[in-house]
Structure 1
């Protein structure tokens, strides 16, 4: 059995991570009540000698998690809450000063200052694994800790664990983000994600906000703020993506199969994601019919970025189904949808499908779509435009170059990396190959 380690960095990364652990505990608690003896929950949890955590699980457990933040607030709040016993104190790292919304401070200053301690936190988590398969990195790109320390940890993982898959969940800032330097932080971080991650799952703040506005009003009452709802969406997406490694299924998708099947070019590993249902718990809308769920995950309003994949080119696509869905249902819907989706000519059969028999808590079925689609270049171009609006005026550059090890070349190299990536996706959309090696086509 393989294991995965979640590394949550910064305020956003830790809030998403804690929502993921809360939801995962709910699922495994319900699953154990069904009398199952399966130990697949050990892929994200491990046995602990400490006092018991949950009445629903026969043994106390610890999350395979590393929590990092250069401010203490969020992690201290977590340690005062119900998840405190789930966390191993040896895998927590905090500071008090914060990274000042500055990628250079996070990446070059704190990344270097805490490298030994970060290595020790990750090493302690890795030593608890029998067969470590994957690191999940949760962070945002708009602030200084998530973007800077997060990408510093990514480099650490590549150096120390080069054969372990690195999946990154990256939350992108919106155009009206309250951090004026967020375009700098995001582009500087993206250069690192492009070079050193195996897969990146982008979540745009604006897309998440639109989803909570559209689907959140179906619930009669809610005392949650928008960010709680947005974190809930991301947490559920990660829960569904990892379901195959936590529960049994007729056609489970291993995490390494996502990278193997959906990434035909090494740098072009940004996956557009969507999921359904999106209605909050407690909403009174009628249950969607199964075929409608398959239609929904390809609609624009269900995407985690502000783009419509149906109007662009699919390089590959994965469907991960949960609950009462038969293989015949899956094949029927793939055949039904295939004619309406534009797949690249050298990979017209580029589907990866998975069936996990355990549905999320409170739902009969759930469906996730992950696609490598050229529509991602629109989001990248918008980010580039916001970056250039600042960079052409050299606005706030001195805050970055005053950090030891940072110079203006970092900006130009990161901008060049992003421009090259945009051009690669544009080239594929126009019918020519990108400026990378020939694709590797994996049979389903």
Structure 2
């Protein structure tokens, strides 16, 4: 059995991670009602013997073992981590696997990357190695962070480089939240096995759609009083919901579906490494567009199950994408469908054949589909679907990011905050812009091949 380690960096990374662990625990509790430590639980949790050996060699009575998340928590402000350690999940995290400071990175990528990266490099490496040693077969690292602020962005990207150097054979699944305005582009181009990025505006759009569904009255249903699906109504319920709780919950639910094959049995489970192997044909083009359906999996709405075919149609519709994009009007390099619940492979194949005519794949990968069937659905639902696509529709997001960056950079706005940090040079910004321009050009080159005869297709200039 393989295991994975989750690395949570910064305020956003730790809040999303905490939500993920809460949901995962409740899923395992619903399936494994006897509380037996089995292979499914061991994929993301380890069993720790908490008995104390006395001076005479005797072992204390009482609680014998404790379930600990395979996680490393990092934040240069101790507030969020302290809140977690005082909350309902305090016993889930190993206090030896935490790294905190009190000063914070001051919302400055350069401070997080250059200052705290160097300062905490040895400690971080020690925690990562310890986590790896606790695994029988380490499959991948899940890195959760935000590209806003200083710790999640700066220290988070420093961490990615460390993982690349120290664990080159272990896959790195990166989940990044992007703010509305961003000044540092360098982190986009660090080598990752695959990267799922979620602009805050896109997450806000999803929340607004869900609120509209709930408040429009079209559903003809009521809000569940005690939902087991979302953390906002479960073990982590607080008196006042925080502004980003709903957004964090979307990402946590996506990670829950992404890891379901590793945590539960299925007739056609997908190894996590297979996702990268099948969806990333070129190392630079590792940015995935994701959609999760049914959308009400993310809310506390009691809705009867929709038709199975509708679930597959929704996964490819513009309204269900967790990025402001319409993949149907762009070019697919590959696509993975991760289905949960009582769904047959014949249902999946039938829907793929039904949807194929409306989707355009690159000429050299017309059958670029990867499918996964996990028998355990999300708690409270009969089935769900996570679609991951490598699609050129991400290009407008990069173009907008570059445009916003250049508006600031041309005026040298806020630049001194970065350059006053030792080791930070302006060349970092120019190199980042050059890399981003090259990435956009690669997507332009791919888009230019649409509707082009195979014999006329140019060779891609992507460096291997």
Return the TM-score normalized by structure 2.
Answer: 0.88
Residue from 115, 121, 131 that aligns with 1:125: 131
State the match for 2:186 in structure 1: 188
Over 3 Å counting, the alpha-carbon distance change for 1:225 and 1:286 in structure 2 is: farther
1:435 partnered with 2:461: yes
After TM superposition, give the deviation of residue 287 of structure 1 in Å: 2.2
State the match for 2:417 in structure 1: 399
After TM superposition, give the deviation of residue 322 of structure 1 in Å: 0.1
Residue from 182, 200, 204 that aligns with 1:205: 200
Question: Which structure 1 segments of 5+ residues have no match?
Answer: 52-56, 175-181, 439-444
State the match for 2:372 in structure 1: 354
State the match for 1:145 in structure 2: 151
1:16 partnered with 2:33: no
Q: Judge conservation of contact 1:64–1:125 (CA < 8 Å) in 2.
A: yes
State the match for 2:335 in structure 1: 317
- What is the distance in 2 between the residues matched to 1:36 and 1:28? 10
User: Larger C-alpha radius of gyration, 1 or 2?
Assistant: 2
Q: Judge conservation of contact 1:218–1:283 (CA < 8 Å) in 2.
A: no
Over 3 Å counting, the alpha-carbon distance change for 1:36 and 1:367 in structure 2 is: farther
| Map 1:191-270 → 2, pairs under 5 A | 191-192=189-190, 196-219=191-214, 224-270=241-287
- What is the distance in 2 between the residues matched to 1:434 and 1:268? 12
- 2:337 is paired with a residue whose SS is strand
Deviations 1:182-215 (A, max 9, x none): 5113x122132xxx21100111111111111111
Q: Judge conservation of contact 1:45–1:64 (CA < 8 Å) in 2.
A: yes
1:46 partnered with 2:46: yes
Alignment root-mean-square deviation, CA: 1.8
- What is the distance in 1 between the residues matched to 2:122 and 2:108? 21
- What is the distance in 2 between the residues matched to 1:50 and 1:270? 42
After TM superposition, give the deviation of residue 345 of structure 1 in Å: 0.7
After TM superposition, give the deviation of residue 245 of structure 1 in Å: 0.5
Over 3 Å counting, the alpha-carbon distance change for 1:267 and 1:135 in structure 2 is: same
Count of residue pairs brought into register by the alignment: 422
- What is the distance in 2 between the residues matched to 1:134 and 1:436? 25
State the match for 2:88 in structure 1: 82
Residue from 273, 279, 294 that aligns with 2:312: 294
After TM superposition, give the deviation of residue 257 of structure 1 in Å: 0.3
Residue from 437, 453, 461 that aligns with 1:419: 437
Deviates more, 1:247-256 or 1:280-289: 280-289
- What is the distance in 2 between the residues matched to 1:288 and 1:183? 39
Q: Judge conservation of contact 1:425–1:434 (CA < 8 Å) in 2.
A: no
Q: Judge conservation of contact 2:50–2:65 (CA < 8 Å) in 1.
A: no
Q: Judge conservation of contact 2:37–2:47 (CA < 8 Å) in 1.
A: no
- What is the distance in 2 between the residues matched to 1:216 and 1:231? 16
1:276 partnered with 2:306: no
Q: Judge conservation of contact 1:103–1:189 (CA < 8 Å) in 2.
A: no
State the match for 2:325 in structure 1: 307
- 2:305 is paired with a residue whose SS is coil
Q: Judge conservation of contact 1:276–1:297 (CA < 8 Å) in 2.
A: yes
- What is the distance in 1 between the residues matched to 2:182 and 2:152? 13
Deviations 1:56-114 (A, max 9, x none): x9952100000001111110100000111110111100111111111111111100010
- What is the distance in 2 between the residues matched to 1:34 and 1:238? 25
Q: Judge conservation of contact 2:49–2:64 (CA < 8 Å) in 1.
A: no
After TM superposition, give the deviation of residue 281 of structure 1 in Å: 4.0
- What is the distance in 1 between the residues matched to 2:85 and 2:213? 33
- 1:33 is paired with a residue whose SS is coil
Deviations 1:224-283 (A, max 9, x none): 444111111100000001000100000001010000000011110001111111114431
State the match for 2:60 in structure 1: none
- What is the distance in 2 between the residues matched to 1:232 and 1:426? 34
After TM superposition, give the deviation of residue 118 of structure 1 in Å: 0.6
Deviations 1:147-205 (A, max 9, x none): 1000111111111111100110011112xxxxxxx5113x122132xxx2110011111
- What is the distance in 2 between the residues matched to 1:25 and 1:285? 24
State the match for 2:384 in structure 1: 366
- What is the distance in 1 between the residues matched to 2:34 and 2:305? 24
After TM superposition, give the deviation of residue 120 of structure 1 in Å: 1.0
- 1:200 is paired with a residue whose SS is strand
- 1:355 is paired with a residue whose SS is strand
Over 3 Å counting, the alpha-carbon distance change for 1:64 and 1:35 in structure 2 is: closer
- What is the distance in 1 between the residues matched to 2:327 and 2:145? 24
